[in-house]
Structure 1
Amino acid sequence: MKQRVRAILITPDNTLLLMRRVRPGIAPYWVIIGGGVEDTDASREDALLREVREEIAGEAKITRLLHQIENAQGETEFFYLAHIRKWNFDDRTGPEFQRDDRGEYLLDEIPLTTEALASVNLLPEEISNVLREALERGELHATV
């Protein structure tokens, strides 16, 4: 069964880095940066750090596993809380960025508040709810 990893990336400015997807015929939506665990990855955490390097040319520090779900394709997705100081979206190298048929990938930095999270269509909805609840409990903050 395929595993996927996602990085809930918190910046020193207490913002959250999200990928906005714009695809023809579909309302824009946001996703948490990450992707599939490859056979060559030593661990899920190594896969996550590789994905962050590929997608935003960033170096993240993983804090902990926050949540996991089974997605509609039957894959397990692991959502890790991570902190990041530097990134450069212009230097991204992921294979998805080379394809013209996948729509646009835009990096957004949103305030780390329940209101800001509620204002974007963050998918999957379950992780949006988990993040808002964690914010309400005071469990998410910049510590870089």
Structure 2
Amino acid sequence: MQHRVRAVLLTPNNTTLLIKRIRPGIDPYWVIVGGKIEPTDASPEDALRREVREEIAGEAQIVSLLHTLEADEERQDFYLATIDSWSFEDRTGPEFSQEGRGEYLLEEIPLTIEALDAINLLPQEIASVLREAVERGELFAGR
């Protein structure tokens, strides 16, 4: 089973950082920062911190596990984390230099129902989890 970790990154501006994917022949969609756990990672949390450094050149402070998705041969753990600074220009992830992968754009999305409803956040189950957490005011407890 492939194990991935993702960070719902809460910024000081009450936004979250998402990556907008633009690929030929597919409508744009947004994903949460993260990736797969490597054999060299000491723990899922270490993998998550590494992925945040690679993808947005930032340092995440992990607050808690928010949600786990399991489907087929994949498990994704979504963590709630805070971040104060980042530099998308300084990203180092290997996927960014691979031909044919399309564009990766970092966007700050307000943590409101309206803003979340305006984007195609995938997977859809985590989009629903985030909307419900915003409605209950749970995400702001992490800041």
- Normalised-by-shorter TM-score class: over 0.9
**2:83 is matched with which residue?**
84
**1:126 is matched with which residue?**
125
Distance in 2, matches of 1:51 and 1:120, equals 23
What's the TM-score, normalizing by structure 1? 0.96
**2:98 is matched with which residue?**
99
In the alignment, residue 58 of structure 1 is paired with which amino acid? G
Once the 2 structures are TM-superposed, how far is the Cα of residue 142 of structure 1 from its aligned partner?
6.7
Moved over 4 A (4+): none
**2:139 is matched with which residue?**
140
In the alignment, residue 26 of structure 1 is paired with which amino acid? I
**1:5 is matched with which residue?**
5
**Counterpart contact for 2:4–2:35, Cα < 8 Å:** yes
What's the TM-score, normalizing by structure 2? 0.97
Aligned pair count reads 143
Instruction: Give me the identity figure in percent.
Output: 66
**Partner secondary structure for residue 90 of structure 1:** helix
Distance in 1, matches of 2:73 and 2:140, equals 31
Once the 2 structures are TM-superposed, how far is the Cα of residue 135 of structure 1 from its aligned partner?
0.7
Distance in 1, matches of 2:133 and 2:35, equals 23
**1:22 is matched with which residue?**
22
**RMSD (CA atoms):** 1.0
Q: What runs of 5+ residues in structure 2 fail to find an aligned partner?
A: none
Distance in 2, matches of 1:49 and 1:143, equals 17
